[in-house]
Amino acid sequence: MSHRFISIWFPNLATDHQIRVRPELFGLEFALAAPERGRMVVTAVSAEAGALGIETRMVVADARAILPSLVVLDDDPEVTRQALHALAEWCLRYTPTVALDAPDGLILDVTGCAYLWGGEHAYMHDLITRLSDAGYTIRAAMADTIGTAWAHAHFGRQGTIVPSGEQRNALLKLPPAALRLPPETLEKMQKLGFYTINSFIQIPARMLRRRFGEDLLEKLNKAVGSSQEFIEPIRQAIPYQERLPCLEPIVTATGIEIALQKLLEMLCARLVKEGKGLRKSVLSCFRVDGKTQQIDIVTNRASHHVKHLFRLFELKIKTIAPGFGIELFLLEAPEVEDMDASQETIWDTTGGFESAAITELLDAVMGRTGTETIHRYLPDEHHWPERSVKTVTSLREKPKTTWRTDRQRPVFLLSKPESIEVTAPIPDYPPTLFVYKGKVHYIDKSEGPERIEQEWWLQQGLHRDYYTLEDREGQRYWVFRLGPYSEEENKERPEWFIHGFFA
């Protein structure tokens, strides 16, 4: 299947946007102006001002001499750029691949999207109508190449749809400027009488290159499809996604549930076919007022089980505000994982993390309370306590080592050891008491020391001598002395820290 592109041009983007944000300007003769070489120069004009002879690049003083009632506003290119980016975001409802064609255009890769609207003609009509109704002056065209689509959007008939493979013939009657050539090249062509692309397209490439340079051939080849042209989307397309446009705006929770069910069936069917399951999914609801509502879910292991995924989404459907109606649903799976044969039958197994009941319970708890409420820890291959445990997000990940059982370790390990004050009868003996957060703990039993050296290949530092202490209340603690005692008089005594708590 060949690629299909739409080029959208907003000839009056700056003034159209001004009218949208300031409706009182509608129907007035106004212009935007910016300083240039010490003078205020017109950068954009409204349709009413343009019809009365005001043109861009005109000095503001001259423009006011022609039209005394002209309203002049300061131009801010950044505002126009933001408006163009907002339009690009809005167009994501039509395709996942939208790129800016600065300063006043967009390029849409609509390959495989038109069928959702009933064909290319219905697709183009809906796009042009919606943008026009929003108050924008728009010209658009569709073709197999970006170059041909751009040429017809700027110099062809409004809404042109060039049949697949016909881009060469579609360019013949257009002027050379339709190839996006620089002014100096166009000036040369004008002098030589090349008023249409047809007048030079048959000339051998070597002659065109010698006369006009490599740029002309490059632009021509891209337009006819002999060489590829790439765009930089405003948002990277997610490979696993499904779209569902609505004939009538959806305003009820029941309608949202029906749309979600259908999208999940389509997405999961594709995941099953490719042996994958999703770990995260996002449902975007595009409203008729241009706003977007989103809900998302995460799973503890890859899944393509429609009923289970629907139940997770169902918990959040009530948070969607449909407003005046939702016109398009988009379901994306930004995180997917491979699933082997045993995982694909998870819903028929029992025991441990392979149990459907346990997996569903974990997913449901996270769906209600958030992803930060459930954690899984595995042992890591380090002696240094802070590095000996790692947090993992997948139930599939297997430990590379076993939990250490030859030495007792606390149930709760502080992420960062906390300083304590200690009293010991002899320097190398265990403490007889320590003070932690203002409370004095008198020690009845102790065990240690256990020396743990710093992992020198990762970090330099002093060793630690760990003790397990039990106070008079029966509480047990894991404390350590940092570094050795020194018999030198001027040497400071080593610091003590608490690092963990036993059950």
Q: Is residue 247 part of a domain?
A: yes
In a shared domain, residues 179 and 209: yes
Per the omega criterion (within 30 degrees of 0), is the bond before 233 cis? Answer: no
In a shared domain, residues 272 and 288: yes
The pTM of this model reads 0.65
What pLDDT is recorded for position 427?
A: 67
Residue 355 has, within 13 A of its CA and on its CB side, a CA count of 8
What pLDDT is recorded for position 283?
A: 95
Residue ending a domain, among 294, 323, 357, is 357
Q: Is residue 173 part of a domain?
A: yes
What pLDDT is recorded for position 349?
A: 43
DSSP SS3 for 421: strand
In a shared domain, residues 133 and 267: no
Which stretch of 56-60, 284-288, 358-362 has the lowest confidence by average pLDDT?
358-362
Does the structure show a pLDDT above 80 at 264? yes
In a shared domain, residues 168 and 226: yes
Q: Is residue 404 part of a domain?
A: no
Give the model's confidence band at 348: pLDDT under 50 very low, under 70 low, under 90 confident, else very high.
very low
Q: In whole angstroms, what is the distance from residue 90 CA to residue 291 CA?
A: 8
Alpha helices in 8-142 (DSSP H): 13-21, 47-51, 60-66, 77-90, 120-133
Q: In whole angstroms, what is the distance from residue 71 CA to residue 58 CA?
A: 14
Does the structure show a pLDDT above 50 at 503? yes
Average pLDDT for 363-374: 69
The amino acid at 67: L
Top-confidence residue, 33 or 494 = 33
Top-confidence residue, 429 or 172 = 172
Q: Is residue 350 part of a domain?
A: yes
What pLDDT is recorded for position 357?
A: 63
Does the structure show a pLDDT above 90 at 332? yes
Full residue range of the structural domain in which residue 107 is found: 1-237
Which stretch of 50-59, 453-462, 490-499 has the lowest confidence by average pLDDT?
490-499
Does the structure show a pLDDT above 80 at 432? yes
Give the alpha-carbon dihedral of 212, 214, 218, 219, to 10 degrees. Answer: -30
Give the model's confidence band at 350: pLDDT under 50 very low, under 70 low, under 90 confident, else very high.
very low
In a shared domain, residues 208 and 278: no
**How many domains are there within the chain?**
3
Which stretch of 225-229, 355-359, 442-446 has the lowest confidence by average pLDDT?
355-359
Does the structure show a pLDDT above 50 at 455? yes
Mean pLDDT of the chain: 88
Q: In whole angstroms, what is the distance from residue 489 CA to residue 312 CA?
A: 66
Residue ending a domain, among 357, 389, 420, is 357
In a shared domain, residues 266 and 151: no
Which stretch of 47-51, 215-219, 364-368, 467-471 has the lowest confidence by average pLDDT?
364-368
Does the structure show a pLDDT above 60 at 53? yes
What pLDDT is recorded for position 180?
A: 94
What pLDDT is recorded for position 356?
A: 58
Q: Is residue 308 part of a domain?
A: yes
Report the DSSP pairing between strands 39-45 and 30-36.
antiparallel
Average pLDDT for 469-486: 90
Residue 293 burial (CB count, 10 A): 16
Q: In whole angstroms, what is the distance from residue 7 CA to residue 162 CA?
A: 12
For residue 89, CA distances in Å to 92, 145, 238, 286 come to 5, 22, 15, 11
Q: In whole angstroms, what is the distance from residue 328 CA to residue 337 CA?
A: 27
Q: Could you tell me if residue 155 is left (phi over 0), alpha (psi between -120 and 50 degrees) or otherwise beta?
A: alpha
In a shared domain, residues 335 and 419: no
pLDDT > 90: what percent of the chain?
63
Q: In whole angstroms, what is the distance from residue 298 CA to residue 372 CA?
A: 11
In a shared domain, residues 353 and 417: no
In a shared domain, residues 169 and 271: no
Does the structure show a pLDDT above 50 at 494? yes
In tens, the pLDDT along 134-158 reads 999 999 999 999 999 999 999 999 9
Give the model's confidence band at 395: pLDDT under 50 very low, under 70 low, under 90 confident, else very high.
low
Q: Is residue 157 part of a domain?
A: yes
In tens, the pLDDT along 189-202 reads 999 999 999 999 99
Does the structure show a pLDDT above 80 at 2? no
What pLDDT is recorded for position 346?
A: 45
Question: Which segments within 50-206 are labelled E, that is strand?
Answer: 71-74, 97-101, 105-109, 139-143, 160-161
CATH of the domain at 308: 3.30.1490.100
What burial class does residue 471 get, using C-beta atoms within 10 Å of its C-beta: 0-12 exposed, 13-18 middle, 19+ buried? middle
Give the model's confidence band at 386: pLDDT under 50 very low, under 70 low, under 90 confident, else very high.
confident
User: Can you read off the two tokens belonging to residue 394?
Assistant: 């997948």
Report yes or no: 457 and 485 within 8 Å, Cβ to Cβ. no
Average pLDDT for 453-475: 91
Does the structure show a pLDDT above 60 at 344? no
What pLDDT is recorded for position 32?
A: 94
In a shared domain, residues 306 and 203: no
Residue ending a domain, among 357, 376, 403, is 357
Q: Is residue 388 part of a domain?
A: no
Neighbour-count burial for 197-234, b at 16+ CB within 10 Å, e otherwise: beebeeeeeeebeeebeeebbbbbbbbbbeeebebebb
Q: Which of 65, 68, 13, 57 is nearest to 33 (CA)?
A: 57
Q: Is residue 313 part of a domain?
A: yes
Residue where the block lists tokens 């007048």: 199
CATH of the domain at 161: 3.30.70.270
Which stretch of 94-98, 349-353, 450-454 has the lowest confidence by average pLDDT?
349-353
In a shared domain, residues 127 and 92: yes
Q: In whole angstroms, what is the distance from residue 83 CA to residue 104 CA?
A: 10
In tens, the pLDDT along 77-129 reads 999 999 999 999 999 989 999 999 999 999 999 998 888 888 999 999 999 99
DSSP sequence for 394-414:
-SSPPPSSPPP-SS---SEEE
In a shared domain, residues 249 and 226: no
